[in-house]
Each structure stands twice: as C-alpha cells, then as structure tokens.
Amino acid sequence: MNHNKIDLGGRTFKDVFGFAFMHWRRQRHRIAAIICVALLTALADIMTPWFSGHLVDALAGAGLGKSHALHAVLAPFASLIALALAGALLRYFTYFSITGLTLRMMSDIAGDAFHRVQRLSTDWHANSFAGSTVRKITRGMWALDLLNDTLLIGLLPSFIMLVGATALLGARWPVMGVVVGAGALLYIAVTIALTLGFVAPAARLGNAWDTRMGGALADAVTCNAVVKAFGAETREEQRLSRVIGKWRHRTRRAWLRGTFNGSLQNVMLAAMQAAMLGVAIALWWNGRAGVGDIAFALTMFLVLQGYLRDVGMLVRQLQRSVNDMEELVQLTHQPLGIEDRPGAVQLAVERGEIRFEHVTFRYDAHAAPLYSDFSVRIAPGERVGLIGHSGSGKTTFIKLIQRLYDVAEGKITIDGQDIAGVRQASLRAQIAIVQQEPLLFHRSLAENIAYARPGASRAEIERAAHLANAHDFIVTLPHGYDTLVGERGVKLSGGERQRVAIARAFLADAPILIFDEATSSLDSESEASIQQAMERLMVGRTTLVVAHRLSTVRSLDRLLVLDRGRVVEEGSHDALIRIDNGLYRRLFERQALELTKGLVDHQAGPSLGPRRASTCAAEA
C-alpha cells in the first residue's frame, strides 16, 4: 500500500474537497443561496430558546393578573410559531436547492469520469478491472451526495448554531459561554481526531477490499464461459469467498471503530450536559438566573445537544464520504499517458504514405529499446505484411502508428504529417483496424457495423455486410440486423465476429487499413471466407497485415520480417522464400511441416487403436 495515502487528515481530504469545490464553482449561485438559507435556519434555531425563556417568564408572572400575563405570553408565543414556520420553509428551500445542485454534480462527475477513462492509456486499461473501475465511479458519485448533505445541510448550520449559541449564552452569563464554547470545541476536536486517525484508515482498507470484490465478481461473470468449460463454478465461489472474507474482516473493524467513536461522543455529551446544568443551578442559587433563564439554558442545551450529536454523526459521514470518493478522485488525477499536444491539428490523409523516421521506442519496464534508430517507408496504397516471432515488434509497430504510445526519438509521419502533432481522434478516424479478437458491443448487429459511421443508412450497412461475407449469416438470425450480439459478441462465433469487424471496416472507408492477426484463430473454411473479404477491403488502401499464418500474406506486395525491433528481411513472398537459411523461409517451412503432420495425424489417427499407436511410437 502507498503509505503516502494514509494521511487522511491531509492530502486525501485536500484532494477530495478540492474536487468537490471545483464542481461547486460551476454552480456558484446555488451554493450562495444554500449558504444564506443555512445561516437563516441556524439563526431561527438559536432564537427559539431565547423566546422559550421569555414564554416561561410570562407564565411565571401570571399571578399579576391574567390579562397582563396573556399579553406577555402572546408575543413570545407568536415569535416561536413564526420561527417554527420560517425554519420549515427555509429547510424546504435548502433541500430543494441541494437536490438540483447534487444531481447536476453527479451527472457532471459521471460524464467527466467516463470521458477520462475512455482516454486513459491502453496499458492502464490492460491493468484494470472494468468492474472495479465502474464501482469506483458509481460509489464516488453517491458519496458526493452524502458529502454535499453533510457539509451544506449538516456541518454548516451546526457550526453557525454553535457559534451563535456560545455568543448568546456568553452575553447573558460569561461563565456559561465559556462552558459551552470549551465543551463544544473539546467534543469536536476529539471527534475529528478519532474519526480521522482511528476510523478512517480502517474504512480505507474496507473500501479497497470492496473494490477488489467488485472486480472479482466482474471477472468471474465476464469469463463465465471459461468457468463452465472447466466445471470451475465451485472453485470460483471459493476464490470469491476468500475475497469476501477479507472484505468482511476489514469492514467489521471499520464499523466497530465507528461504534466506539459514537459511544465516546455520547459520554462527552453527558459530561457537557452535567456541566451546563451545574452552572445553571449555581447561577439560580446565587440569584443571577430566574425560572425563565433556567428554561432558556435548558432549551438551548437540548438544541445544542441535537446539533452536537449531529456533528459527531456528520464527521463520521464526512470521513466515510471522503473514503468513498478518494478512488474516484485518484481516477480523475490518473495521467492520460498519451495526450493531444497544444495546438494539435486535424490529420488530413490523401495518399496514405507511412514513414518511420529514425524511431527509438522502449516500454517503460524495459531498459533496452525495442526499436532503435528504426526507419521504414510504406508507400501509398501498398499492401505490407509484418512477419516475425512473438516479441519481434509487430504489434508495437501497429500501436505506434495508432499513437497508443509515443516514441522516445524520431517521428512517425502519415503523408508527411507527424502523428504526434495531430489530434488522436482524427488520426484513428483515418485507420480501420480488424483485430485478432474483435470486440463487439452488446448492441444490435446494425449498430456494431455502423459504429465506424453512426449516420450510415441501413442500405449502406447491408452493403458493407455483403462485401464482408457477413450478410448471409446475419439474415438467418431471429431478428436479422437487429439481433443483439451479447456482451463482447459472445452470441457469435469467432468467424462471424471477424466478418462483422470487416464490415465495420468497410463502412469506415478509411485510407489506412490494419489486419492484426485477423485469421489466426479461425478454421480453414472461415479463413477462406474472411481472406476473400480482406482482399476486397484492401483495394485502394494502404494496408498493414500482421500475420501468424503465412498463407495470409503470400499475395501481399511486400513483407517486412522483424526480429527484435529490426527489419532483417524484406521483399515479396517469392523473393524471401528463396533466401537460404532465411528467417521467413524457416518460418514458412516450419508451418508447412506442421500442416502436413497435422493432416497425416488426422488421417491416421482414427485407424490406430491405443495399442497399435504405442507400438508405432516405440518403433519410431
């Protein structure tokens, strides 16, 4: 754990309050109105004990004559009724105003957080649970609701009430003002110290395990097909049970500490009550306070006790809301990784030429660069294959063109424009990519195909599906193009998902096209259909094909054979296959041998029994 984050009275509170105040500034007029109303509400509560004392004095003087007593009683009675009605109206206005304030803030926070999460780096997304991220955002939103209520409806009026009551009592009896003021300060100081130093660290750990529990749930639910495939339901339940056990233990400790804190607050309130009553009786004994004064003091204590009890609860709520918001605030402070430079312009692609010019690039965790002084040119409309072992730099090559990472030295240009100086959205809008495992939204097939161009007509969507060899299987589905595909497209086969992704690329009509291992996980029949669609899609576009199956790249214009970030061989398939002991030739021959062996095994396998197979293996 990062020990810098344990200082809950310092940096965390500062960050969370700064985050809340930033959103408050967007609604200054509402905040000002709420503060004014809170001030008036507290003043109404402060004056209530004062008029209560006058009412008791009037009733005590009833022996002077009923008509005189009735006249004396009416004024404080009417004042108390007016204060009660005014307090009710003011509180209604406060709740009405804070409802609009909080809903607007929660909406802004959800939108801002989603905006930022979508723009965080691919590394961040690869290292984060989607379920945990969603939990951080939703928990933080609702914590903001609690924070607003605590600060604006709870603590602000309480602070005004405590100051006003201390001043009013002190003006009447200085010693009573000292007792109330000192007692309130001691109560608040102990409450804050215990909450921040004793309860909050435990609550932080409880929240951390709450986030992990959400992530574990989402992980298991998302991968339910794998769980079922291995009959691992019980194993996953046991795994989640361990996480829940940790969460329960951490949360129980936080709750018990909160209970202890609340009990200590009750003891301090009882001590304060005894002190105020003792001072009031002493003042009465010495003739410095009448019956009405005692009623005034007692009523003021009852009002104060309610506010002080609320302060204890409100400080605990404040601590809990800050704990619940801190992960959301940390998320908003998370560096984007790749950001548009100031003054970034729109990328304009006319020809589709791609150049790597003396590029040096390394991943953060690696000391040695993957690419060092790397240069290559891809001509407009050229179809280029990227070949090499795992780790040779093929996928990185593609990610650098998309500017998912920035280079350390050199530059990458498209039609002479440095991609680091253009807007990322405009760059990626010029690139259509079909990935090895295409991701589909849990939306209709029409929406998934039209994702590259949301305004496309149904006729354009169907034409793209025809070109991608996807139309025939789509029309056989129960709702055709309106069929929902399930989360991540799980209702479709791998080949069907690939064809939908190719249809999406057709509709994007981008000048640069990337196939990233698009056929590596498909059967031969699906591969043939998809290769046919790929050939159609490549026409007139600068195309990059990352391929594991070398049959995919045989017809391309040029192949770049990469090894540890260097182009070690370059040329057409026919040229590279003639290089003695060349890397491409070795890869091609190995795949051909594996294919031949697979066919032989497939044909021989069914005719050999276990004993005969063992004999053959022994003879070999």
C-alpha span between 413 and 323 (Å, rounded): 46
Is the pLDDT at 400 greater than 90, yes or no? yes
Provide the token pair at 148. 């607003």
* Burial of 119 from C-beta contacts in 10 A (0-12 / 13-18 / 19+): middle
pLDDT, tens digit, 9 for 90 and up, residues 324-353: 888 888 888 877 778 888 888 999 898 999
Amino acid 59: pLDDT: 65
Instruction: Kindly tell me the sign of the dihedral angle through the C-alpha atoms of 36, 39, 44, 47.
Output: negative
More confident residue, 476 or 82: 476
Amino acid 9: pLDDT: 43
- Please give the share of the chain, as a percent, with pLDDT higher than 90: 11
Provide the token pair at 63. 């022996």
Residues 6+ apart with CB under 8 A from 378: 353, 354, 355, 384, 542, 544
What CATH architecture is 354-583? 3-Layer(aba) Sandwich (3.40)
Amino acid 516: pLDDT: 85
User: What number is the average pLDDT over the span 92-113?
Assistant: 86
Instruction: Of 361-370, 437-446, 609-618, give the range with the top mean pLDDT.
Output: 437-446
Closest-CA residue to 186 (of 260, 267, 266, 268): 268
C-alpha span between 522 and 280 (Å, rounded): 88
Which SS3 state, helix, strand or coil, does residue 389 take?
coil
Closest-CA residue to 503 (of 544, 449, 440, 455): 449
Amino acid 472: pLDDT: 87
User: What number is the average pLDDT over the span 461-469?
Assistant: 88
- Please report, as a single letter, which amino acid is at residue 444: S
Residues 6+ apart with CB under 8 A from 314: 150, 154, 155, 158
Map 108-177 to HEC letters.
HHHHHHHHHHHHCCHHHHHCCCHHHHHHHHHHHHHHHHHHHHHHHHHHHHHHHHHHHHHHHHHHHCHHHH
The structure tokens 């190995």 sit at 590
C-alpha span between 467 and 464 (Å, rounded): 5
Amino acid 135: pLDDT: 80
User: What number is the average pLDDT over the span 383-400?
Assistant: 89
Give one DSSP letter per residue of 496-517, joined into a string. Answer: HHHHHHHHHHHHHT-SEEEEES
Is the pLDDT at 117 greater than 80, yes or no? yes
CA angle 534, 538, 541 (to 5 degrees): 155
Is the pLDDT at 376 greater than 50, yes or no? yes
Is the pLDDT at 617 greater than 60, yes or no? no
User: What number is the average pLDDT over the span 309-338?
Assistant: 80
Distances (CA, A) of 30 to 44, 92, 151, 157, 476: 21, 14, 14, 16, 56
C-alpha span between 326 and 393 (Å, rounded): 38
pLDDT, tens digit, 9 for 90 and up, residues 543-599: 999 877 777 788 889 999 998 889 999 999 889 988 888 888 888 888 767 656 554
C-alpha span between 319 and 206 (Å, rounded): 13
Is the pLDDT at 270 greater than 60, yes or no? yes
The structure tokens 């780096």 sit at 121
CA angle 173, 175, 179 (to 5 degrees): 120
C-alpha span between 328 and 112 (Å, rounded): 11
Count Cα atoms within 13 angstroms, Cβ side, for 425: 3
Strand partners, 74: none
Lowest mean pLDDT among 41-45, 303-307, 437-441, 449-453: 303-307
Buried b (16+ CB within 10 A) or exposed e, 325-338: bbbbbbbbeeeeeb
User: What number is the average pLDDT over the span 354-359?
Assistant: 94
Distances (CA, A) of 276 to 264, 553, 589: 19, 90, 95
Neighbour count for residue 191 (Cβ, 10 Å): 22
* Burial of 473 from C-beta contacts in 10 A (0-12 / 13-18 / 19+): middle
pTM of the full structure: 0.64
- Please give the share of the chain, as a percent, with pLDDT higher than 70: 85
Find out whether 148 and 101 touch, Cβ atoms under 8 Å. yes
pLDDT, tens digit, 9 for 90 and up, residues 190-240: 877 777 677 767 777 777 787 778 777 877 776 776 677 667 788 788 888
CATH, range 9-333:
1.20.1560.10
Amino acid 271: pLDDT: 82
Strand partners, 422: 345
Q: Would you place residue 291 in the very low, low, confident or very high pLDDT band (cuts 50, 70, 90)?
A: low
Closest-CA residue to 353 (of 320, 384, 323): 384
What does pLDDT average to over the chain? 79
C-alpha span between 184 and 178 (Å, rounded): 10
Provide the token pair at 26. 């967007």
Amino acid 3: pLDDT: 37
Domain borders along the chain are 9-333, 354-583
Provide the token pair at 143. 């914590």
pLDDT, tens digit, 9 for 90 and up, residues 159-171: 887 787 777 777 7
More confident residue, 577 or 437: 577
Is the pLDDT at 91 greater than 60, yes or no? yes
pLDDT, tens digit, 9 for 90 and up, residues 10-57: 567 788 888 888 888 888 888 888 888 888 887 777 777 777 766 766
Q: DSSP H helical segments within 230-355, as ranges? A: 233-285, 291-333
Amino acid 608: pLDDT: 40
Amino acid 8: pLDDT: 41
Amino acid 277: pLDDT: 75
Amino acid 620: pLDDT: 32
Strand partners, 431: 512
